[in-house]
Amino acid sequence: MAIESSVIFLPCGDIAATHDFYTRIVGLRQVQEQAGGTLRIYDTGYGYWGFCQYPDERPALSGDKGVCLSLNCADEADVDRFYEKVTALGARVLAAPAMQERFPVYSFFIEDPSGYKVEFQKILLPGQELTGGRR
Whole-angstrom distance, CA of residue 41 vs CA of residue 18? 11
Contacts with 88 (C-beta within 8 Å, 6 or more apart), sequence order: none
Q: Summarize pLDDT for 47-106 with one digit per residue, the tens.
A: 999 999 999 988 998 888 899 999 999 999 999 999 999 999 999 999 999 998 888 999
What is the pTM for the complete model shown? 0.89
DSSP-derived secondary structure for 84-99: HHHHHTT-EEEEEEEE
Whole-angstrom distance, CA of residue 95 vs CA of residue 100? 10
Q: 123 vs 101, which has greater pLDDT? A: 123
Burial class (CB in 10 A: 0-12, 13-18, 19+), 103: exposed
Q: 132 vs 104, which has greater pLDDT? A: 104
Residue 114 φ then ψ, to 5°: -95, 0
